Amino acid sequence: MLPLALQGCSGVGGRETVHVTSTQWVDPDTGEVVEHAEPEAADDSSWQSEFEWVLNHPGDYPVNSAAQYTPDGTYEYALVEANGGGTPELLLAVSSGHTQPVIVFTIGDDGKAHASPEVLIMGTPGNGAAREGVAASASGNGIYQISGSAGSREHLSRHFVLDGASLSKASEETFNITQGLPDHQNIEWTPTGDKSALTAGVPVGSGSGSASGSDGASGELQAGQVEFTGTVRGYTGEELMAPLGYGMPNGEDPNSVYYVLDLDSPLMVRGRTAPGYKTEEVKRFRLGHDEIGARGHSYQDGLEWAQYVDKRVRIVVDEGDVNFPTDTSMPLGTPGFGESMTYTVLE
């Protein structure tokens, strides 16, 4: 298995902003006052400006060849809260065919962005059975490296905390991928050319959008709302498709895990489709997935649902805020919820 923290990301990015200010000094020979320009330190304390520079120059932060990757010239990023300092950290993923090294940037006491000398790993190192992923901390304490292999539900989570700009392993534990672990939160990645996530400035693990999700879902329904109650389950692709007599529809790894809400009983549900709306009987809803695609890429979404597997949940959405699939994505034919969704864990 590939080491989880690889040495080799240099903290370059050696630009220096200099402001020039006009000062006065006295010529000792003539006694005349002379205008003199001298540099003064830049007052650039904006973490967003610092991170924007990184995103505009991602190639200035090379990764050691020990990462076993071949860069394709594209990059993705995410903001996380990893050290409780109040200023987000920036994750920069260097894209490649099968393996993506992830560099962690922090804002130092000097107000500048500093790259971690270690990197985390996502993807399928060596194009083999290994599976690597990175998860944020819902509590804002560190970052998780998730490691496993195809065909095995037992995965390893290694918890890294920040010591200055460096990553230091704090703990590790094994877990069942269909059940997940508390505090692990999915990371949504954005191409570096899209600065909207940086502008929004809301990191994963900042306390907003956390895995609790209970606010707004308890109590009486408001006008225009509907509710769905069921049990959260985690199924592999094989478990979902074998009863239908089919293989994976798009060549996905059959050991990919899909989180769904199995309803207490089937319901007639109205939701969006293309075009317009339709109403049909629904037995389950999609919630999240930890999927390995046909080319070995890792696709993760809604991993916070892993901690609620086998628990009953009440979900509230605006009426009609359900999306029926129009493609063959997994779980096949299963609708999902829109942005109005809130939920309460019942037991």
- CA 184/CA 159 separation, integer angstroms: 10
Instruction: Categorise residue 110: left if φ over 0, alpha if ψ from -120 to 50, beta otherwise.
Output: alpha
Q: Give pTM, 2 decimals.
A: 0.57
Q: CB atoms < 10 A from the CB of 175, how many?
A: 18
123-156 CB burial, b ≥16 within 10 A, e <16: bbbeeeebbbbbbbbbebbbbbbbbbeeeeeebe
- CA 262/CA 313 separation, integer angstroms: 10
Segment 239-277, tens digit of pLDDT: 999 999 999 999 999 999 999 999 999 998 989 887 788
- In terms of pLDDT, which residue wins out, 135 or 33? 135
Segment 13-65, tens digit of pLDDT: 444 322 222 334 445 555 554 444 443 433 344 899 999 999 999 999 878 66
Segment 198-246, tens digit of pLDDT: 998 888 765 433 333 333 344 567 777 889 999 999 999 999 999 999 9
Kind of pairing between the strands at 342-345 and 322-323: unpaired
Residue 3 has pLDDT above 70, yes or no: no
Q: Among 320, 346, 345, 347, which Cα is nearest to 335's?
A: 320
pLDDT band at 278 (very low <50, low <70, confident <90, very high): confident
At residue 24, the pLDDT reads 43
Q: Cβ distance 164 to 106 under 8 Å?
A: yes
Q: Cβ distance 295 to 321 under 8 Å?
A: no
Q: Cβ distance 260 to 285 under 8 Å?
A: yes
At residue 85, the pLDDT reads 78
Kind of pairing between the strands at 71-80 and 89-96: antiparallel
Residues 6+ apart with CB under 8 A from 223: none
Calculate the average pLDDT of the chain.
80
Q: Where are the beta strands (DSSP E) in 138-223?
A: 143-149, 154-163, 166-176, 184-185, 190-191
Show the tokens assigned to 209. Answer: 């959008």
